[in-house]
Amino acid sequence: MSRLIIISNRVNPPDDASVGTAGGLAMALAAALREYSGIWFGWSGQKTESFTGQMSMQRVGGVTVALVDLEEQDVQEYYNGYANRTLWPLFHYRMDLAEYERSFDEGYARVNARFAETVLPLIEPDDLIWVQDYHLIPLARELRRRGVANRIGFFLHIPWPARRLITILPRHETLVEAMLDYDLIGFQGADSRDAFGDYIEHVAGGERVASEGPITIVSLNGKQVRIGAFPIGIDAADFTKALESERSRDYFTRMVDSRAGRQMIVGVDRLDYSKGLEDRFLSYELLLSKNPDLLEKVFLLQVATPSRDEVAAYQEIRSKLDMVSGRINGAFATVDWVPIRYVNHVYRRDELSGIYRAAAIGLVTPHRDGMNLVAKEYVAAQDPDDPGVLVLSEFAGAAAQMGEALIVNPFSREEVSDAIRRGLTMPLSERKRRWEILMHGVQEDDVEAWRDSFVKALEATPRSGEAAPSEPRSMAG
């Protein structure tokens, strides 16, 4: 079995102390590395006066990590700049927030080159290289320039936008062309994969050559790359196990006590404009004003962890949400009822599982989301004998797999408010029927299945000059 080298912006394998707070993705990648005995390389999160390319190698939770420090200017231009002020908003359909500055492009290119240069001595000829996410789109090109002939895969955790949108990005041609240096590109769903294929065909002048199952081969300028849909999942078994922990039970009991007979609606998100939180609050306000019988009978617990607070758009959304939740509470609260409990804390996974379980509705209404793992966690946390109802945005990648949720347009407050109302009064038999189907999907398509399907597809990719083990059927045929 080949060794696996994972390269991502941040490197966060959980150690014993942080296992409860680690995200599902970090757990999954760490588990993959333990299995394939590989290395995880990326930015340490630390800044240095001037870049040296010095790596610090550590063993964390059974995984070898290699970390490199970046300069302040790198962090501003590459991370806060091109990644989070250009690509993130544009790929989430927020052209109004996307900023285009030459210095961001330059910083992004510089850091990708620095990553390639630094990781190079760690790469052995048979290693599989797996690059994660939008921070590192041109990394394969930088590695190829330095003579790396290994199989290199890329997974995009966020949506790939429609081709009209991507063409707004200055120098989009260079960015996409660089992606042809990967052997395999994974997207969260067929819509992102197909949007990428559309770009290749209709903007770049390339073609779709062949397809088999979730994989399509596209070609451009004499290079071929496999593109595929690999929807990410959660560690469902671990999440279900967490429900049996004392901490999860404690949180469940605490929520049931504090519910005081009311029905709870829960939202859990990174505090990000893509998550549609303002519209969520306004939909909930509409629910209260249209349904006076619900006053004092329901409440919304919104957990929102602040993130990327060096970027102005994140400071703005944060103060907007403080204002909107305050206004709604001011208008509707009574001496012993607050309609929105708005919390900015981070919770452990076991604590979250107890909170989800106590909620009658899981409200997941992003304006755009690559996948959205909260939708899957909410389902995994439910009591099979009395499951809650998932209200899910049609613009979350998860909607393609979770059709038994109440699927809504998150921009329509009426639709969201009606779906919450419907969920609150849904008969037990229908709740069970929907939940069983959803839970089956969450268990089947878990994070291990995601990881294995990607790594297997990458292993099966012929290296340039090699024949494919089995060539997908021709598109023309």
Q: Does 369 bind ligand ADQ (CB under 6 A)?
A: yes
Q: Does 402 bind ligand ADQ (CB under 6 A)?
A: no
Q: Does 75 bind ligand ADQ (CB under 6 A)?
A: no
Distance CA(367)–CA(395), nearest Å, equals: 6
Q: Which stretch binds ligand ADQ (CB under 6 A): 17-25, 77-85, 179-187, 239-247?
A: 17-25
- What's the DSSP call for residue 273? G
Q: Is 13 helix (H, G, I), strand (E, B) or coil?
A: coil
Report the interhelical angle of 373-380 vs 349-357 (nearest 10°): 70
Residues whose CB falls within 8 Å of the CB of residue 317, separated by 6 or more in sequence, listed in order: 271, 272, 273, 277, 278
Kind and range of the H or E element at 48?
strand 39-48
Q: Does 352 bind ligand ADQ (CB under 6 A)?
A: yes
Contact with ligand ADQ (CB under 6 A) among 165, 373, 416, 419: 373
Contact with ligand ADQ (CB under 6 A) among 31, 137, 158, 455: 158
Distance CA(1)–CA(126), nearest Å, equals: 9
Q: Does 268 bind ligand ADQ (CB under 6 A)?
A: yes
In SS3 terms, 303-346 reads as EEEECCCCCHHHHHHHHHHHHHHHHHHHHHCECCECCEEEECCC
Active-site residue, from 127, 133, 350, 369: 369
Q: Which sign, positive or negative, has the C-alpha torsion 105, 111, 113, 116?
A: negative
Q: Does 86 bind ligand ADQ (CB under 6 A)?
A: no
Q: Is 402 helix (H, G, I), strand (E, B) or coil?
A: coil
| C-beta closer to ligand ADQ: residue 136 or 268 | 268
Q: Which sign, positive or negative, has the C-alpha torsion 180, 182, 183, 187?
A: negative
Q: Does 157 bind ligand ADQ (CB under 6 A)?
A: yes
Q: Does 432 bind ligand ADQ (CB under 6 A)?
A: no
The beta strands (E) that lie in 78-117 are given as none
Is the distance from CB of 397 to CB of 231 less than 8 angstroms?
yes
Shortest reach from residue 297's CB to ligand ADQ, in Å: 26
Distance CA(72)–CA(2), nearest Å, equals: 36
Q: Does 48 bind ligand ADQ (CB under 6 A)?
A: no
Distance CA(402)–CA(400), nearest Å, equals: 6
Instruction: Find the binding residues for ligand ADQ in span 319-348 (CB under 6 A).
Output: 345-347
Contact with ligand ADQ (CB under 6 A) among 27, 97, 143, 371: 371
Q: Does 175 bind ligand ADQ (CB under 6 A)?
A: no
Report the alpha-carbon angle 470-230-31, nearest 5.
100
Shortest reach from residue 345's CB to ligand ADQ, in Å: 6
Q: Is 38 helix (H, G, I), strand (E, B) or coil?
A: coil
Q: Does the annotation mark 157 as catalytic?
A: yes
Beta bridge pairs of residue 224:
219
Q: Does 374 bind ligand ADQ (CB under 6 A)?
A: yes
- What's the DSSP call for residue 288? H
Q: Does 377 bind ligand ADQ (CB under 6 A)?
A: yes
Q: Does 370 bind ligand ADQ (CB under 6 A)?
A: yes
**How many residues are recorded in the chain?**
477
Shortest reach from residue 238's CB to ligand ADQ, in Å: 12
Place of tokens 């607070």: 309
Contact with ligand ADQ (CB under 6 A) among 3, 270, 341, 431: 270
Shortest reach from residue 368's CB to ligand ADQ, in Å: 9
Q: Which sign, positive or negative, has the C-alpha torsion 183, 185, 191, 194?
A: negative
Tell me how many residues contact ligand ADQ (CB under 6 A): 22
Q: Does 25 bind ligand ADQ (CB under 6 A)?
A: yes
Shortest reach from residue 394's CB to ligand ADQ, in Å: 14
Kind and range of the H or E element at 361?
strand 361-364
| C-beta closer to ligand ADQ: residue 153 or 370 | 370
One-letter identity of residue 53:
G
| C-beta closer to ligand ADQ: residue 303 or 416 | 303
Q: Does 23 bind ligand ADQ (CB under 6 A)?
A: yes
Shortest reach from residue 246's CB to ligand ADQ, in Å: 18
Shortest reach from residue 356's CB to ligand ADQ, in Å: 9
Distance CA(271)–CA(268), nearest Å, equals: 9
Distance CA(386)–CA(357), nearest Å, equals: 10
Six token digits for residue 432: 């069970």
Six token digits for residue 165: 């949108």
Q: Does 309 bind ligand ADQ (CB under 6 A)?
A: no
Q: Which stretch binds ligand ADQ (CB under 6 A): 267-275, 278-286, 406-414, 422-430?
A: 267-275
Shortest reach from residue 88's CB to ligand ADQ, in Å: 9
Q: Which stretch binds ligand ADQ (CB under 6 A): 11-19, 99-107, 264-272, 414-422?
A: 264-272
Q: Does 300 bind ligand ADQ (CB under 6 A)?
A: no
Q: Which stretch binds ligand ADQ (CB under 6 A): 19-27, 97-105, 138-146, 463-471?
A: 19-27
Active-site residue, from 157, 172, 191, 194: 157
Binding site residues, ligand ADQ, CB under 6 A: 23-25, 157-158, 232, 268-270, 303, 305, 345-347, 352, 369-374, 377
* Active-site residue set: 157, 369
